[in-house]
Homo-oligomer: A and B are copies of this chain.
């Protein structure tokens, strides 16, 4: 079935059908749904060349994917992709991953924009003064940042979770429970989410008159092994922490291993709180001692980013709207009052 046949069947103009399928705002929602249903039923999907001719759109969301022997993609990316794909599918969008070394990132963005390969892109793992955001802003392609940068002199659209408030609340709870020696195991220090988490934790500690000396902070890729190393260092110190806040569940597996090796118990000797992106393959309630978490679904974030990108492609959303999601603090058995 082609566009002409589909349009005739629906008794709509070809323009209306095209616009409905591409999510243009001027088509009524009821009409859009009728068109999309009929298109699906009859296996009609505009081919990219026809779509590009009719609408100027490629039907693609782009992502420049870091690759290289030394690059490990965080496993939570699968959950983000699940959410993004789930929404994109219902809006006839595919996703193009353009692999690139870190050094060639800028060139790769320029290429996919210049080639009109994609209608919009998203940026992940932003850093302060992130050059990718300035570049995309200049290039004028619709984009959204997953996370936030800092220190840029312009606004840009983003979706972030409130990492600062999340770790502030986690640390505040620990202080209320009497903890004074609190340690942080964080993700890479050059990423904004990690900076925000440390900032929130420090703010709560400062408010409680508690210090965070450098030897109680670690920042590194979020693997089980790194969690083990960081915790082992902390536990070998003269005054070991009575509580550890950790940026990932996989890292926290390593923390619990270090505690076991040291013959220490949770929460009797050390309280634990970790950030949970909601990962069906490893659940905090299934840790040896159920793990207290700051929780926000990264799959939901993927869905929302696809939704906003589709809206920006269709011209329904514009401007530099920042969206910040509150994070739940879920208390479980891994936190307790500090021992007298």
Binding site for B on A (CB under 8 A): 15, 18-19, 22-24, 40, 43, 45-49, 60, 65, 67-69, 71-75, 77-79, 81-82, 84-86, 88-89, 94-101, 104, 107, 110-112, 114-117, 222-225, 228, 250, 253-254, 257, 260, 279-283, 286, 288
- In the complex, chain B residues whose CB is within 8 Å of the CB of A24: 107, 110
- In the complex, chain B residues whose CB is within 8 Å of the CB of A23: 110, 114
Q: A81-B97, A97-B95 are in contact. Are A253 and B282 (CB under 8 A)?
A: yes
Nearest opposing residue in chain B for A106, CB measure? B24
Q: In the complex, how many angstroms separate the beta carbon of A263 from the nearest chain B beta carbon?
A: 13
Asked if A71 and B65 make an inter-chain contact with CB atoms under 8 angstroms apart, the answer reads no
A336 to B262, CA, bound (A): 25
- In the complex, chain B residues whose CB is within 8 Å of the CB of A280: 72, 223
A18 to B115, CA, bound (A): 13
Asked if A115 and B43 make an inter-chain contact with CB atoms under 8 angstroms apart, the answer reads no
Q: A223-B280, A280-B72 are in contact. Are A94 and B89 (CB under 8 A)?
A: no
Asked if A281 and B99 make an inter-chain contact with CB atoms under 8 angstroms apart, the answer reads no
Asked if A97 and B117 make an inter-chain contact with CB atoms under 8 angstroms apart, the answer reads no
Nearest opposing residue in chain B for A228, CB measure? B286
The 5 closest A-B pairs by CB, nearest first: A85-B99, A75-B75, A89-B99, A67-B85, A73-B78
- In the complex, chain B residues whose CB is within 8 Å of the CB of A282: 223-224, 250, 253
Q: In the complex, how many angstroms separate the beta carbon of A42 from the nearest chain B beta carbon?
A: 11
Asked if A96 and B99 make an inter-chain contact with CB atoms under 8 angstroms apart, the answer reads no
Q: In the complex, how many angstroms separate the beta carbon of A71 from the nearest chain B beta carbon?
A: 7
Nearest opposing residue in chain B for A287, CB measure? B257
Q: In the complex, how many angstroms separate the beta carbon of A74 from the nearest chain B beta carbon?
A: 7
Q: A67-B82, A88-B99, A95-B97 are in contact. Are A286 and B48 (CB under 8 A)?
A: no
- In the complex, chain B residues whose CB is within 8 Å of the CB of A74: 78, 281
- In the complex, chain B residues whose CB is within 8 Å of the CB of A22: 107, 110-111, 114
